[in-house]
């Protein structure tokens, strides 16, 4: 089984309800071992040093570990309610596009409606392949200079670039010639045609200095019809359109949260989410239901929690 699948399965099988401190110790240790969790994140949240946390997780802590375990358990419950990536068809498809694009050193493209989990799946891939994968979050950057600066930042070569765009482009290309990388550009449909053309220059066709994956909405398909982008359009041989997950996969996400909801209630929640922003709306709905559950001091999300959660989200 691929490393990514192993890690995702660890996350997918997590469950909060009924977990005792020893069970949580084991699960957190698995998450740390798989790379999904970092000791420094637990230290930041609990106040206990990484060395102490490591000893408690391995069962080698010499003193009474009840207090530390309680803090780890509280962190775990906070974490599990906010990390909802599971092994779904969408994740598999995006991973396949990214892997193939990287192996072939091509330009690939993943398109789909907002809220379908494209960015989250890509971020997870980057987190699991830090040696060669870089995630470029545009955040309003659309001009050629802004794009070049974002790429340089992702490659950690800010101190090596300066001057006009041509100089910055040359510095990025030199770096990639020495260190072939995978660049995942999120919200690529926000780029202007001149910026998109730069990606072709950075890729360099058959020079195998990098691979580029464009994550975008269907708007990118319309942008690529621009006459100036014909050459780039012809150089994107790997393309995939991402749709919605099915109700079975939605149930997997719901089961990440402690609940006693029946199949009909989960299906109703998923039907509502499909009409809004898909997976994103579904996850947000359950996050709010989880918050309401905690405010009511309940052990599980019940029907009333879910009903109230709808009112917390703008329709």
* Range 71-77, long-range pairs (CB < 8 A, 24+ positions): 71/46, 71/47, 72/21, 72/24, 72/25, 72/28, 72/42, 72/46, 73/19, 73/21, 73/24, 74/46, 75/42, 75/45, 75/46, 76/19, 76/24, 76/27, 76/28, 77/16
* pLDDT the model gives residue 203: 93
Q: Is the pLDDT of residue 224 over 80?
A: yes
Q: Is the pLDDT of residue 242 over 50?
A: yes
What's the rounded Cα separation, in Å, for the pair 165 and 219? Answer: 26
Q: Is the pLDDT of residue 19 over 70?
A: no
- Residue 184 is classified by DSSP as E
Give 268-299 pLDDT, tens digit per residue.
Answer: 999 998 888 777 788 889 988 988 998 888 88
Q: What is each CA distance from 106 to 96, 98, 132, 200, 232, in whole angstroms? A: 13, 10, 15, 10, 12
Q: Are 119 and 308 in contact (CB under 8 A)?
A: no
Q: Is the pLDDT of residue 85 over 70?
A: no
- Which stretch of DSSP H or E encloses residue 211? strand 210-216
Two tokens at 239? 């393309």
What's the rounded Cα separation, in Å, for the pair 309 and 300? Answer: 14
Give 32-84 pLDDT, tens digit per residue.
Answer: 887 778 898 899 888 999 999 999 999 888 888 888 888 888 787 667 655 54
Q: Is the pLDDT of residue 15 over 50?
A: no
Q: Are 300 and 259 in contact (CB under 8 A)?
A: yes
* More confident call, 87 vs 193: 193
CB atoms within 10 A of CB 104: 13
Question: Which residue do the tokens 């420094």 mark?
Answer: 40
Question: Phi/psi at 64 (nearest 5 deg)?
Answer: -65, 120
Q: Is the pLDDT of residue 235 over 80?
A: yes
* pLDDT the model gives residue 18: 39
Q: Are 215 and 188 in contact (CB under 8 A)?
A: yes
Two tokens at 312? 């917390």
- Which stretch of DSSP H or E encloses residue 254? helix 247-254
How buried is residue 290: exposed, middle or buried, by Cβ count under 10 Å (0-12/13-18/19+)? buried
Among 52-56, 173-177, 254-258, which is the least confidently predicted range?
Answer: 254-258
Q: Is the pLDDT of residue 3 over 80?
A: no
Segment 216-237 shows an average pLDDT of 88
* More confident call, 177 vs 205: 177
Band of pLDDT at residue 181, cut at 50, 70 and 90? very high
Q: What is each CA distance from 84 to 167, 252, 257, 282, 303, in whole angstroms? A: 42, 9, 9, 10, 21
Q: Is the pLDDT of residue 14 over 50?
A: no
Q: Is the pLDDT of residue 256 over 70?
A: yes
Q: Are 22 and 72 in contact (CB under 8 A)?
A: no
Two tokens at 247? 């109700």
């Amino acid at each position: 089984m691929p490393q990514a699948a192993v890690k995702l399965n660890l996350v997918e099988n997590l469950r909060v309800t009924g977990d005792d401190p020893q069970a949580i110790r084991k699960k957190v240790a698995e998450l740390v071992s798989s790379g999904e969790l970092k000791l420094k994140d637990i230290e930041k949240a609990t106040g206990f040093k990484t060395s102490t946390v490591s000893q408690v997780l391995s069962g080698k802590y010499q003193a009474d570990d009840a207090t530390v375990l309680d803090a780890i358990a509280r962190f775990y419950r906070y974490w599990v309610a906010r990390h909802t990536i599971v092994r779904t068809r969408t994740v598999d498809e995006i991973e396949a596009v990214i892997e193939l694009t990287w192996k072939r050193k091509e330009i690939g493209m993943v398109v789909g409606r907002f809220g379908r989990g494209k960015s989250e799946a890509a971020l997870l891939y980057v987190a699991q392949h830090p040696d060669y994968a870089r995630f470029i979050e545009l955040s309003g950057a659309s001009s050629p200079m802004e794009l070049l600066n974002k790429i340089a930042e992702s490659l950690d070569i800010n101190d090596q670039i300066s001057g006009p765009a041509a100089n910055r482009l040359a510095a990025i290309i030199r770096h990639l010639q020495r260190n072939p990388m995978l660049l995942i550009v999120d919200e690529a449909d926000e780029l202007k045609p001149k910026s998109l053309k730069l990606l072709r220059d950075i890729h360099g066709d058959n020079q195998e200095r990098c691979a580029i994956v464009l994550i975008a909405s269907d708007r990118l398909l319309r942008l690529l019809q621009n006459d100036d982008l014909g050459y780039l359009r012809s150089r994107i041989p790997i393309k995939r359109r991402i749709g919605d997950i099915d109700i079975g996969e939605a149930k997997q996400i719901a089961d990440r949260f402690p609940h006693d909801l029946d199949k009909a209630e989960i299906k109703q929640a998923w039907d509502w989410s499909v009409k809004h922003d898909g997976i994103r709306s579904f996850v947000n709905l359950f996050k709010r239901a989880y918050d309401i559950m905690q405010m009511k001091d309940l052990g599980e999300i019940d029907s009333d929690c879910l009903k109230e959660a709808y009112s917390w989200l703008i329709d």
